[in-house]
Amino acid sequence: MAKNSYTEKEKQQVFNQEFMPHVNSMYNFAHRLTFDEDDAKDLVQDTFMKAFRFIESFEKGTNAKAWLFRILKNSFINDFRKKSKAPSKVDYQEVETYYNSDEVNTPITTDLRAETVHDLIGDEISNALNSLDVDFRTVIILCDLEGFKYDEMAKILDIPIGTVRSRLHRARILLKEKLSEYAKQMGYLR
């Protein structure tokens, strides 16, 4: 990657003006990955330290948020996920073949309807999201909560755009299945 040469003052400026405004989104992402306040804090701090250390790889005015999310995601995989007792795994082959299978043509996989979704409160949606496997959870967070485009997600996650699409597709099906379960428990659905 091309190196940019910044003076100490410029580094500080880039850091404060382009990186720090994303601290809320970063913390939210870290919290949804780790489910722990202290771990999320460590992960965010660690990400900002790395961003500062490698600031010369960052070109001023480019997509700082995507760059920071990529560092955070890599730190999570390398440092935090290893600590986890039961690291979750996605069967990627299954995901890849899924999108090309007939299942994609099934219009509604659950009996959940838009009207029912409106009846759900935030906790149920948040819990359903948190119940997803980390790889599926991540694509929903990046796309629906943070508004990243597919090409940005591909760069953040180091996966092809086709995989972003298939993983998102599968994640939404799983999310709807979970919400459908909640809706049934609460009597919104029979």
Partner 1 sequence: MGLKEFLNKIAGRKERLSHSECLQMLNMVIDEEMDESEEFKSHLNVCMPCYEKYKLDKALKAMLKAKCCRAEVPDGLVEDIKSKISGNIIS
> Is residue 72 near partner 1 by the rule CB under 8 A?
no
Helix, strand, coil percentages, rounded to 5, for the chain: 75, 0, 25
> Cα–Cα distance between 35 and 29 in angstroms, integer?
10
Q: Which of 85, 86, 107, 187: binder of partner 1 (CB under 8 A)?
A: 107
> Is residue 186 near partner 1 by the rule CB under 8 A?
no
Q: Which of 6, 31, 74, 133: binder of partner 1 (CB under 8 A)?
A: 31
Neighbours of 76 (CB within 10 A): 23
> Is residue 50 near partner 1 by the rule CB under 8 A?
no
- Of the pair 89, 100, the CB lying nearest partner 1 is at 100
Q: For partner 1, what does the binding mask look like between residues 161 and 180, x meaning CB under 8 A?
A: ----x--xx--x--xx--x-
Of the candidate spans 10-18, 58-66, 74-82, 89-97, the one that interacts with partner 1 by CB under 8 A turns out to be 10-18
Do the Cβ atoms of 137 and 147 come closer than 8 Å?
A: no
Of the candidate spans 36-44, 58-66, 67-75, 81-89, the one that interacts with partner 1 by CB under 8 A turns out to be 36-44
Of the candidate spans 58-66, 67-75, 83-91, 117-125, the one that interacts with partner 1 by CB under 8 A turns out to be 117-125
- The CB-based long-range contact list for 94-100 (8 Å cut-off, 24+ gap) reads 95/163, 95/166, 95/167, 95/170, 96/163, 96/166, 98/166, 98/169, 98/170, 99/162, 99/165, 99/166, 99/169, 99/170
DSSP character string of 57-122 = GSPTTS-HHHHHHHHHHHHIIIIITTT-SS-----HHHHHHHHHSGGGG-S-SSS--HHHHHHS-H
Residues in contact with partner 1 by CB under 8 A are: 8, 11-12, 15-16, 20, 23-25, 27-28, 31-32, 37, 40-41, 44-45, 48-49, 52, 104-105, 107-108, 112-114, 117-118, 120-122, 125-126, 129, 140, 143-145, 147, 149-150, 165, 168-169, 172, 175-176, 179
